[in-house]
Amino acid sequence: MANGMTTPKLIQTGRRQLMLFSGRCNAELAEEVGQHLGIKCGAVDLVDFASGEVYVRFRESVRGTDSFVFQGHAAPINERIMEQALMIDALKRASAKRISAVVPFYGYARGDKKGRSREPISARLVADILKVAGADRIITMDLHSGQIQGFFDGPVDHLTALPPLARYIRDNHQGDLIVVSPDAGRVKWAEKFAARLNAPLAILHKRRTTKERNVVQVREVVGDVRGKHCVMIDDMIDTAGTIVQGAEALVQAGAARITVGATHPVFSDPAIDRLKNSVIDEIIVTNTLPIPPEKRLDKIVVLSIADILADAIRAVFEDESVSDLFAGENQL
């Protein structure tokens, strides 16, 4: 299976050249990013052998280039991480000057610490894989926790989808808004979102069981949500258990309307069934991960973050500040 059929034009700074390549997870988003940059994704052969191994070969010279390898870590997540690592390794062995791993959604981000004995720190391992493969830096968006930036031995450019999410709410929803953090861990992020909307903040208190994965219990609402339009904001929606339980708790507390905003639409089963039958009125996500047609509910709105990624890639290539693009709001 090949990705891209045309030789890309090159962005050049002096003798340096920028090239953009995509794995098979985010090809559509990568092409949109390329349009913002005025280039096309480079041609690369990506073939699965019968054994499940992946064959990678770039079709043009990458010697001396600044190469950006685009891949979200979506299901099948282990295959996508390995595919990106192989692409990076191939670029390193083909004498690319600098290699950046562009990871709109960073896999294993919730494995950022040892919660119990004899557990791995999975997010650190993913960083090690990309580093050993040959990545000089990582460009990613809305990490689950800030310490992941320290797992990679090199620069990590942390982007955020807060601006487009807040802009959509501001342009499409009026009335008595209140921003809701789904748990104590996302309060800082929710505060930034609330500041953009000039809205108050409420918090959901929840408890996650250590015996079962993806099982939570929302216990109480901290804040007055009666009669208000609640905007619950999170970094990702996986199985949607937290979001749906949180929405039910808000309705029981007297909320008039529920909107959910999240950067990453992971949507693992049974997320779509839960969301379809939930009290949530609207779900706003971005295209950091592809959403297959069978998971596109009428209540789901997808915003593009291609311009944000393109601006960051251009800033990295031109050795300019990435944090200036967000006025510091990309810090966790």
The single residue listed with the structure tokens 């409420």 is 202
Calpha distance 32→23 (Å, rounded): 14
Active site residues: 206
Q: Decide: 229 and 218 in contact? Cβ < 8 Å.
A: no
C-alpha dihedral, 35 to 40 to 44 to 49, nearest 10°? 30
Helices 122-133 and 77-93 sit at what angle, rounded to 10 degrees? 30
Calpha distance 221→211 (Å, rounded): 24
Q: Which two tokens stand for residue 126?
A: 């993913």
Q: Which residues pair with 261 in a beta bridge?
A: 233, 284
